[in-house]
Amino acid sequence: MSTVAAIDLGATSGRVVTGTVHRGELHLREVARFPNTPVRLPDGLHWDVLGLFSAAMTGLGRASREEPELRGVAVDSWAVDHGLLRGDRLLGNPYHYRDERNEAAVAAVHAVVGPEELYRRNGLQHLPFTSVFQLAAAAASGDLTLADRVLLVPDLIGWWATGQQLAERTNASTTGLLRLDGAGWDEELLDRLGLERGLFPDVVDPGTPIGPITAAVREEFGIAEGLGFTTVGSHDTASAVVGVPMTDEDAAYISCGTWSLVGTELPAPLVADEARRAGFTNEGGVDGRTRFLTNVMGLWLLSESIRAWARGGQEHDLPTLLEQAGAVTGPVPVFDVDDPRLLPPGDMPARIAGLLTERGSPAPASAPALVRSILESLARAYAAAVEDIERLTGRPVRTVHLVGGGAQNALLCRLTAEATGRPVVAGPVEATAIGNLLVQARTHGLVSGDLEALRAVVARSTAPRRYEPDR
């Protein structure tokens, strides 16, 4: 019974999880969990990527001591953010995708490549923090003139651990700079935007062995010898989609965490202009699949509201808030969860109240009522996205799989079933870690088969909860 480890870095926390395949089932154990807290400096909002690396390697060291059969490790994280390097030196902590500087770069990029052409080239939904815009902002500030390499966050962690620089394909597909077919960087686009081809490492598939952890890192963090890094779907949503126990094509998924990704799986990109106008993106998936999805603001609205209340001296326990929100009777106002004013950190309850006031709706009078309004609004946004998926792909959606942290939110799952008019299958909560571990397990020969075979392992290993719409 060999074991592999996943380093799963989320927007609010990271953890090290081990997985062992036994008799066709995957058994998980969380070894370490650590916070991921952005840092605001005079020049903007940054990630503490050095602290993340140290915490991840410390957790991996513990896993290697407690799991004598540990064979390998892989890392996944959020997309688009990256480190700029010069030689072996990191040129400052990476900027956070919620930093305001990205918005000014959108016009500069679109002046060179219009949004319609950009969508035909990379298939991505317009988001102002996509890497292509972030790199334009770095060029405008002069930061890029000092750099000779760009590494996305999982690739940066892998480089520090192994000394090998590369770009994993699913995460590279979120930069806006990869060719639509995923075969490599769009060199014509790079030239037009004034980005040097040498900034970007070679692109590799999920399931590629990178190499062993260096002796220096092993010694520093007490990691056992012989532990090798591999790539997985290093964009956390790519791993999460592997961990969705879908059994047929007539299904959509919602990977629900800080962001909610509502989508389906296609054999190839769909870049009709109608899809662009609907805000759908085509991102690389494991085994060459296309993740056809749209980004919805997600549980950021809830977590940022709780932080705002805490700053004002009102401490709220989330389980209690959700219970109280479920007891709210009568209609609550709904709002556009994707309004760009809700993207940056700040006083989320006040911003939501402002949106509602603009449209002549009264703001919720209590914290439970606001939580209910957030969840109702998210469910409506999910339902609209599911309807768009049917319309754009021409395929019916009969079941909605909701995975990730949101699968624990029974109220959200119930509201989503009501709004979509379809059964919601909630779970697994740990879909991202599961997808990471299963791709590794296949690389090491612990399981075999295609994506459907991996999902069959998920189905055997988990017990999702089903929510039926009340018609």
Give me the active site residues, please: 236
What's the CA gap between 205 and 213, in Å, rounded? 19
**Cα separation, 255 vs 168, whole angstroms:** 20
Vertex 131 angle, CA 340 and 437, to 5°: 100
* Residue 82 near residue 152 (C-beta atoms within 8 A): yes
Contact predicate 285/266, CB 8 Å: no
Residue 54 to residue 52: CA distance in whole angstroms: 5
User: Who's near 175: CB < 8 A, 6+ residues apart?
Assistant: 80, 130, 131, 132, 152
How many other C-beta atoms are found inside a 10 Å radius of the C-beta of residue 282? 24
Phi, psi values for residue 230, rounded to 5°? -130, 165
